[in-house]
Structure 1
Amino acid sequence: MTHTQPASPGPAPAIRRRSGGRALFSVSEEWNGATLPALVRANVPGLDLAAWITAHKDTVDELAHRAAAVLFRGFEVPGAEAFQSAMNALSSHVLDYGERSSPRSEVASGVYTSTEHPADQHILLHNEQSYTTNWPVRIVFCCERAATSGGRTPLADSRKVLARLRPETVARFERLGVAYVRNYLPGISLSWQEAFQTERREDVTAYCAEAGITAEWVGENHLRTRQIRPAVRTHPVTGERTWFNHAVFFHVTSLPEEVTRGLLDSLPQEDLPYHTYYGDGTPIEDDTLAEIRAALDAETRSFAWRPGDVLLVENMLSAHAREPFEGPRRILTAMADPIGDFDTNGRTA
């Protein structure tokens, strides 16, 4: 379903000026054979994305909540500063990247490289920072340079993933939650200094205590953490229940088979860089992991990046991933709207 919108009477003069009698943008809730993401396309060159979002904020919010993700294409987004302006138009609370699980570089305030994970490796579907207590409700990506091949950012509607799981599977996870065990080991995983962005052990200990994380210093540079989080969450605005966790993503069997085998051969299970269990510490069964993976696969949708594309992902409504790729690729990312900012009525402070 495609809607073509006339020039907006909103407050941004740059949006009204260039129409020339032509509709400035179109909204497609179904395109590319799918409804995820929805597409907002600029129909005239030079349309500033930040100004457009400012004038159409309600439209953006409604579309994002309905579709779970929105792709903005054809707008003027020449680089990190323009992307930062678009983020400021989307939210008054753009986040720093804390409690890290992958290496990233900050290129502007609140704007990072999407990941520096090796290009030949797949990054599985996940909901950003679902293992924390104050995750971003939105994560946004901007394509500065598309890969020569591959490099898509697949999406999966977390509401539909939940609906595909057996009631007994959901009930057990809701009863027990997910336990995340991480070991910060030099040369094997992210260091605790990189993950927590500090050189002081006392800062890490204080952060963990406040965030409900059990921290154990196994050695001078070996930190082990354990945290238990829900597997199902409720979106603060839409009220919808979603599959929101890293249960499969952080499970050791989700790594390439040879990596999994190498880790299990060389490390005791308690020292694995990442691993997940049910919240009571019991193993997650192989058939349950397979069931979750099948649900994620069935709901996966993707599109090919174009330079200037901006993708808004409702983090609690859609998981995202990254395909392997060849050639130079530069995707920027920013996170916004921490869950702690929302009250019980879904309003931000």
Structure 2
Amino acid sequence: MESTSPTSNIKLGNIRRKSINLSPTELVKVDLLPSGKIPLVIQPVVEGLNLVKWAQDNQEFIKKTLLQYRALLFRGFNINTTDLFNQFVSTTSSGQLLEYRDRSSPRHEISNKIYTSTDYPADQSIYLHNEGTYWLTYPLKIYFCCLVAAQQGGETPIADCRQVFQRISPQTRQKFIDKNILYVRNYNDGFGLTWQTVFQTEDKAVVEEYCNKNAIEYEWKTGDRLRTRSYRQAIAKHPITGELSWFNHAAFFHVSTLEPTLQEALLAEFKQEDLPNNTYYGDGSQIEPELLEEIRTAYQQEKIMFPWQQGDLLMLDNLSVAHSRTPFIGKRKVVVAMTDPVKN
């Protein structure tokens, strides 16, 4: 589901970084890409430095640096268990961990609200997106940890959505500001996740309660099928800085973003309104194809890739930075946690 236009993506492993003195201690070094692109890479100067203990002692530095760069990559600290990952998340977050409900990607829970990043097939891409833009409450922070790096591929590309917003024309931005987004999802038609998986229940009453609490319209159809409709903002204002970010699944969930063969198969099987996922303007009208292509191009122009190393920990400001996944070969284990809930 990821577009592949030939743009100047940036790979950390292929370019030389310059070191800058940003750390409040002498225990770590902070590397900035020559281009100034995220993520900021934080590495230990001394062998065996305990990242959790260092984070406890430098919480203000981490907070300020994340707010400045929006993406921090902690490398060389050997975070090799979900327990260590969870300790770091708990140390550096100021809110509760979020449960993964109203799912769009297959995942499973490893420990208390620590999940696999995705169980999506290894040969497929996942398009750039911010976590939970279609939820009523989304995480301000999202964390990834590479416990096992793939033999080949499997990167988690990122993109600064403040810059994506700037790349999109003022006319397009204003149209989405005025109309917002409508997400329409259909479950149990033989494609995509079932409503039982998405809402983590077999009980329709539990689904209805969740929908009512989260401003989701629902409609039960024959054959145990479900349709939901969610009206959400297309552009978000950062709760601390007030900066605007492109913050939606308008392109990700739109049928035109799918690979051509899958797109053709779905459109041959379903009417537009019955597709597993699709997006519209908030008034229900179609989003113009040229605007969707403009959005995809903006993401692609801002996409940054770097190879995972085992033990890497990536901390993102989820409102400001989108993430994705490339296909891979070999075993890969990347875990995720979401914290600091914000009302959409």
Residue 70 of structure 1 is matched in structure 2 by 72
Q: 1:60 to 1:7 in 2, by over 3 A?
A: closer
The one-letter code of the counterpart of 2:334 is: I
- State how far apart, in whole Å, the 1-side matches of 2:326 and 2:240 are: 30
Bigger RCO of structures 1 and 2 (CA < 8 A, at least 6 apart): 2
The partner residue of 2:273 within 270, 274, 284 is: 270
Residues in 2 aligned to 1:149 and 1:328: alpha-carbon distance in whole angstroms? 9
Amino acid at match of 2:238: H
Q: CA offset at residue 339 of structure 1?
A: 0.4
- CA offset at residue 220 of structure 1? 4.2
Aligned counterparts of 2:132 and 2:238: Cα–Cα separation in 1: 15
**Distance in 1 (alpha carbons) for counterparts of 2:23 and 2:135:** 42
Which position in structure 2 is the counterpart of 1:141?
A: 144
Cα distance in 2, alignment partners of residues 251 and 7 from structure 1: 45
Q: Which residue does 1:50 correspond to in 2?
A: 52
- Contact 1:5–1:25 (CA<8 Å) still a contact in 2? no
Instruction: Please point out which of 9, 15, 19 is paired with 1:2.
Output: 19
Structure 2 residue 181 is matched with structure 1 residue 170: no
- What is the CA distance between 1:210 and its match in structure 2? 1.6
Quote how far apart the aligned CAs of 1:34 are: 4.7
Counterpart Cα distance in 2 of 1:29 and 1:210: 43
Instruction: Classify 1:215/1:47 alpha carbon distance in 2 versus 1 (closer, same or farther; 3 Å).
Output: same
Q: Which amino acid aligns with 1:67?
A: Y
Mapping 1:18-57, distance limit 5 Å: 23-30=26-33, 33-57=35-59
Which amino acid in the other structure matches residue 3 of structure 1? I
SS in 2 for 1:95: coil
- Deviation of 1:7 (Å): 7.8
Tell me the CA shift for residue 76 of structure 1.
3.3
Counterparts of 1:103-142 in structure 2 under 5 Å? Answer: 103-142=106-145
RMSD: 1.6
Structure 2-normalised TM-score?
0.91
User: How far apart are the structure 2 equivalents of 1:237 and 1:29?
Assistant: 24
Q: Which one-letter code corresponds to 1:66 in the other structure?
A: Q
Q: Which amino acid aligns with 1:130?
A: T
Contact 2:24–2:61 at 8 Å: present in 1 too? Answer: no
Q: Deviations over 1:287-317 (max 9, x none)?
A: 1011111111111111110000000011000
Deviation at 1:97, TM superposition (A): 1.0
For residue 90 of structure 1, what is the aligned residue in structure 2? Answer: 92
Q: Report the CA distance between 1:270 and its aligned residue.
A: 1.4
- Deviation at residue 48 of structure 1 after TM alignment: 1.8
Answer yes or no: is the 8 Å Cα contact 1:188–1:273 preserved in 2: yes
Task: Identify which of 197, 212, 227 aligns with 1:194.
Answer: 197
Change in CA separation of 1:176 and 1:6 when aligned onto 2, cut-off 3 Å: closer
Residue matched to 1:80: 82
Which residue identity lines up with residue 276 of structure 2 in the other structure?
A: P
Q: Which residue of 1 aligns with 2:154?
A: 151
> Contact 1:104/1:114 (CA < 8 Å) preserved in 2?
yes
Identity of aligned residues (%): 41
One-letter code aligned to 1:140: Y
Secondary structure of 2:137's aligned partner:
coil
Q: Distance in 2 between matches of 1:194 and 1:77?
A: 30
Displacement of 1:105? 1.2
Letter in 2 for 1:68: R
Note if contact 1:5-1:24 (Cα within 8 Å) is conserved in structure 2.
no
Q: Note if 1:61 corresponds to 2:63.
A: yes
Deviation of the 1:61 alpha carbon? 1.6
Q: Spell out, residue by residue over 1:139-191, the C-alpha distance to the aligned partner (whole angstroms, 9 max, x if none).
A: 10000111111111111100000011111100010000011000012531111
Aligned AA for 2:46?
Answer: V
For the structure 1 residues 284 and 6, does the alpha-carbon distance in structure 2 shift closer, same or farther, using more than 3 Å as the test? Answer: closer
What is the deviation of 1:29? 3.1
Aligned to 1:225, the other structure's residue is in SS state strand
Contact kept, 8 Å, 2:78 with 2:310, in 1: the verdict is no
Work out which of the residue numbers 311, 336, 340 in structure 2 matches 1:337: 340
> Residue 282 of structure 2 aligns with which residue?
279
**Structure 1: which 5+ residue stretches go unaligned?**
9-22, 343-349
Contact 2:78–2:312 (Cα < 8 Å) also in 1: no
Q: Report the 3-state secondary structure (helix = DSSP H, G, I; strand = E; otherwise coil) of the residue aligned with 2:310.
A: coil
Contact 1:147 1:328 in 2 (8 A): yes
Q: Are the counterparts in 1 of residues 236 and 247 from structure 2 also a CA contact under 8 Å?
A: yes
Where 1:233 maps in the other structure, the secondary structure is: strand
Aligned equivalents of 1:195, 1:259: Cα separation in 2: 21
Helix, strand or coil at the partner of 1:283: coil
In the aligned structure 2, how far is the partner of 1:202 from the partner of 1:106? 23
Q: CA deviation at 1:324?
A: 0.7
Map of 1:222 onto structure 2: 225
What amino acid sits opposite 1:37 in the alignment? P
Secondary structure of the corresponding residue to residue 70 of structure 1: strand
Gap regions ≥5 residues in structure 2: 1-17
